[in-house]
Chain A
């Protein structure tokens, strides 16, 4: 026993509880040790070891005179690999996983609570700590379920709890949503209040083949998607030998990398270099944490989440049948929105969408497959003469039916979309008539990584195109170009080179010889 020890302090410190390791900790560790054992040494490890030995040799030469600890060999920093190895791993990610469920639990301070017990005597409301729970379940087929529970202050200054639930059934192409709001003290309801439904309808819509649902319009998940889509592209921009770390996150092997991005400074003068520190689950390739530095740059670019941390990750969890839908059996009201989206094959969609052509890439990154082809009226629910979009509300308990049928979709407004999937990743090719809105062609103007190129092959040979990969703009890596009749956008989980390869490989499906209608696209 050391004479330098304060026994009284030691006893007190020992009274502080210490958590046990979770069930399976040593089983998981055992698997990793097996992989790390000399018998399982892989070429990648050998390269990393050579790198470490090189670094260590230099370090030892510099400090040999002062370093005498026997512990030195293990202290050269975390296990490392290279950006190239991480990129290769992510290209092959998803593995055998079919479904993942991520949970994000955050503690936030809720301000501006009005006449509530938390207001201080001086009249200044004290922040109230609240928990925000978000849960996102994704399948490689494109199914999705998203739940959120959060507390906020409504217009009457009452603290309320909102429950949000959204689903997407990829096979049926149907998005469903439902939400409830209740005073905080009224209920201890769980994250999915399936009953009662209250008076809010369950909304059902036929979704276009873009990103699934409006789930991704939420602040946090919009950032999650844009950064997830950009990871491989940002990695590909790095020097392939850039070191990345192999770490443990939520008990699972993960990559951690610092990815650089250059952004325009506030006011457009100069540029600022920011760093995304990202953690990616090794098995699934999913982004599980990110941190943006410096903060000052983030402050100039509102709408970007500075940090993001998945607090739970479940791979292939047990899920009930129909998890990707909302059971409407007990609903007071079901609203059905038909936005005019129609799915088919490239040929059937081309026949419906002419003069818009269906452009099918002949070169896609390994593993990507065509999941959906569809056409839709880009104006969505906007009521206008000749629009045959249907709006239906079915009130089950009050058997009334409102049906608004619109006739005659204007061919000049048809948009075609193709969605490709690989594991949990996707990219979308969107083709719309010239002169119609909704594109992202101006979106990359502020990104310093923007590159203007001329396409060198395929149906769009010699067309000018713009490419950017910033997670700050839109949905991540994007290429925008145009033909004689259409604007074409490619966006999703693609590197800069992959975007160009796709754009250089289009073939057109549809009648290209038929003369365009007079004034078309103007």
Chain B
């Protein structure tokens, strides 16, 4: 990945480089670890060039955008699963980005940057949820209608993920977040606890409860992991 920052670079070159990265990012080329849940977010940390982070911490907006793009899919995943609505996901991500940008100079590196960003996105989403009188809106087909269906048999796959999404939406947001962070994103209990703001033991119990609830809701009609 190209390094974004460079003190002597001309603004128009920066803009062109930025647009090129946007194009790459939109095409999915910049998100390498998105394969079906077995990769870990921790593995991505090494890819971000230290110079980009340094520039972002100095207050370079473009460098910070680069940082966000690097973590885009995981942050988007957490926000969408918690809020259940694309527009609200985007609003929360914008708010979280501004908060993180302002706080980045004080980021001391004791936790991983991804953990730190997850924590900010999580708390921002919780703020958004508190403002809503209802719980998170289910991830309905309408909410994701513009997404490609990755299934070999679209109908079967649609039924599978819809059932699971409906079960996920039945979970309280704190359990939902714990389940996503541990089982989908691959964090350990300690790190997930830093993100959610609870001890590791609490994460463990929340994940256990969440797994049990999801399996119970799916019932005999479909076992988790049997989806095509």
What are 21 of the A-B contact pairs (CB < 8 Å)?
A1-B40, A5-B183, A9-B214, A14-B184, A16-B139, A16-B161, A16-B165, A16-B168, A18-B144, A19-B76, A19-B86, A22-B90, A29-B65, A32-B97, A33-B61, A33-B98, A38-B59, A74-B102, A246-B98, A248-B90, A248-B92
Residue of A nearest to B34 (CB): A14
Contact A250 B91 (CB under 8 A): yes
| In the complex, chain A residues whose CB is within 8 Å of the CB of B37 | 7, 10-14
* Partner among A3, A4, A15, A249 whose Cβ is within 8 Å of the Cβ of B204: A4
Residues of chain B within 8 A of A277, CB atoms compared: 131
Interface flags, B74-101, vs A, CB<8A=1, else 0: 0011001100001101111111011111
Residues in B180-196 with C-beta less than 8 Å from chain A: 180, 182-184, 186-189, 194
Residues in B138-159 with C-beta less than 8 Å from chain A? 139, 143-144, 146-151, 157
Contact of A16 among B40, B64, B164 (CB under 8 A): B164
User: Which B residues lie at the A interface, using CB under 8 A?
Assistant: 22, 26, 35-38, 40, 59-62, 64-65, 68-69, 72-73, 76-77, 80-81, 86-87, 89-95, 97-103, 106-111, 115-116, 119-120, 123-124, 127, 131, 133, 139, 143-144, 146-151, 157, 160-161, 164-165, 168, 179-180, 182-184, 186-189, 194, 197, 204, 207, 211, 214, 224-225, 227
Asked if A36 meets B116 with Cβ closer than 8 Å, knowing A1-B186, A15-B161, the reply is: no
Interface contacts beyond A2-B188, A7-B38, A69-B111: sample of 13 additional A-B pairs, CB < 8 Å, sorted by A: A9-B211, A10-B184, A12-B224, A13-B183, A20-B146, A33-B61, A33-B64, A33-B97, A74-B107, A74-B120, A75-B123, A248-B95, A250-B87
Interface centre among A14, A69, A277, A291 (most CB of B within 10 A): A14
Check if B225 sits within 8 Å of A71, measured CB to CB: no
Contact residues in B for A28 (Cβ distance below 8 Å): 94
Interface flag for A251 (CB, 8 Å): yes
Contacts of B60 in A (CB 8 A): 37
A307 within 8 A of B: yes
- Shortest A254–chain B CB gap in Å is 9
Complex Cα spacing A469 to B91, Å: 31
Minimum C-beta distance from B53 to chain A (A):
14
Closest Cβ of chain B: how far from A63's Cβ, in Å?
12
Which A residues are in CB contact (< 8 Å) with B150?
15, 17
Number of interface residues of A (CB under 8 A): 54
| B204–A2 touching, CB < 8 Å | no
Which of chain A's residues have a CB closer than 8 A to the CB of B179? 9, 13
B164 touches A12 (CB 8 A): yes
Whether A2 lies near B182 (C-beta < 8 A) is yes
User: Are A15 and B36 neighbours in the complex by a CB distance under 8 Å?
Assistant: yes
Give the complex CA separation of A70 and B60 in angstroms: 21
- Among candidates A5, A11, A33, A249, residue contacting B65 with C-beta atoms closer than 8 Å: A33
Instruction: Using A15-B161, A17-B161, A250-B87 as known contacts, say yes or no to A70 and B59 having CB atoms under 8 A apart.
Output: no
Which of chain A's residues have a CB closer than 8 A to the CB of B214?
Answer: 9
Residues of B within 8 A of A33 (CB): 61, 64-65, 97-98, 101
Task: Decide if A21 is an interface residue (CB 8 Å cutoff).
Answer: yes
A6, B148: Cα distance in complex, Å: 26
Q: Are B100 and A74 in contact (CB under 8 A)?
A: yes
- Is A30 an interface position by the 8 A CB rule? yes
A4 to B203, CA, bound (A): 11
Q: Is the CB of B108 within 8 A of A78?
A: no
| Bound Cα distance from A28 to B204, whole angstroms | 38
For residue A74, which residues in chain B have a CB less than 8 angstroms away from its CB?
A: 99-100, 102-103, 106-107, 116, 119-120
Q: In the docked arrangement, what's the CA distance between A187 and B120, Å? A: 48
Residues in B with CB closer than 8 Å to A70 are 107-111, 116
CA distance A258 to B194 in the complex (A): 30
Interface residue A26 (Cβ < 8 Å from any Cβ of B):
yes
Q: Are A79 and B186 in contact (CB under 8 A)?
A: no
B90 pairs with A25, CB closer than 8 A: yes
B interface majority secondary structure: helix
Contacts of B131 in A (CB 8 A): 256, 277, 291
Bound together, the chains give a CA A37 to CA B57 distance in angstroms of 10
Complex CA–CA separation, A4 to B188 (angstroms):
6
Q: Using CB atoms and an 8 Å cutoff, list the residues of chain A in contact with chain B.
A: 1-22, 25-26, 28-30, 32-34, 36-39, 69-71, 73-75, 77-79, 246-251, 256, 277, 291, 307, 311
Whether the pair B90, A15 counts as a contact (CB closer than 8 A) is: no
Q: Tell me the smallest distance from the CB of B190 to a CB of chain A, in Å.
A: 10
Contact indicator B77/A18 (Cβ below 8 Å)? yes
Report if A77-B127 is in contact (Cβ < 8 Å); known contacts: A15-B161, A17-B161, A70-B109.
Answer: yes
Q: Are the C-beta atoms of A37 and B182 separated by less than 8 Å?
A: no
Q: Is the CB–CB distance between A15 and B98 below 8 Å?
A: no
Residues of A within 8 A of B38 (CB): 1, 7, 10-11
B91 nearest CB neighbor, chain A only: A248
In the bound assembly, the distance between CA atoms of A25 and B86 in angstroms comes to 12
A18 x B73 contact (CB < 8 A): yes
Partner of A78, one of B95, B107, B186: B95
Q: Which residues of A contact B36 (CB under 8 A)?
A: 11, 14-15
Q: If A1-B40, A26-B22, A74-B119 touch, does A32 touch B147 (CB 8 Å cutoff)? A: no
Smallest CB–CB gap between A477 and chain B, Å?
26
Interchain CA distance A20-B116 in the complex, whole Å = 22
Task: Evaluate whether A78 and B65 lie within 8 angstroms (CB atoms) in the complex, with A13-B164, A250-B91 already known.
Answer: no
Our pick among B73, B149, B194 for the contact of A71 (Cβ within 8 Å) is B194
Query: Quick check: B61 and A15 within 8 Å, CB to CB?
Result: no
> Which of A1, A4, A22 has the most chain B CB atoms closer than 10 A to its own CB?
A4
A251 contact set on B, CB distance < 8 A: 87, 90-91, 94
Top-6 shortest CB links A-B? A14-B37, A8-B225, A74-B103, A33-B61, A10-B37, A70-B110
**Contact across chains for B227 and A69 when beta carbons are under 8 A apart:** no
**Contact A29/B97 with A5-B183, A20-B147 known, Cβ cut-off 8 Å:** yes
Residues of B within 8 A of A4 (CB): 182, 188-189, 204, 207
Which residues of chain A are within 8 angstroms of B86 by Cβ–Cβ distance? 19, 22
- Is B72's CB under 8 angstroms from A15's CB? no
Report the separation of the CA atoms of residues A33 and B64 in the bound assembly, to the nearest whole angstrom.
Answer: 9
**Hey, which chain B residues are within 8 Å of A17, CB to CB?**
144, 147-150, 161
In the complex, are the beta carbons of A79 and B123 less than 8 A apart?
no
Across the two chains, which residue of chain A brings its CB closest to B95? Answer: A248
Among A4, A69, A74, residue most surrounded by chain B Cβ atoms (within 10 Å): A74
For residue B222, give the distance in angstroms from its CB to the closest CB of chain A. 9
| Chain A residues whose C-beta falls within 8 Å of the C-beta of B100 in the assembled complex | 74
B14 to chain A minimum Cβ distance, whole angstroms, is 11
Q: With the chains together, A11 CA to B103 CA distance in Å?
A: 34
Interface pair B80/A18, CB less than 8 Å apart: yes
The reply to whether B119 and A15 form a contact with Cβ atoms under 8 Å apart is no
Instruction: Tell me the minimal C-beta distance from B32 to chain A in angstroms.
Output: 15
Distance of A12 Cα from B163 Cα, bound (Å): 11
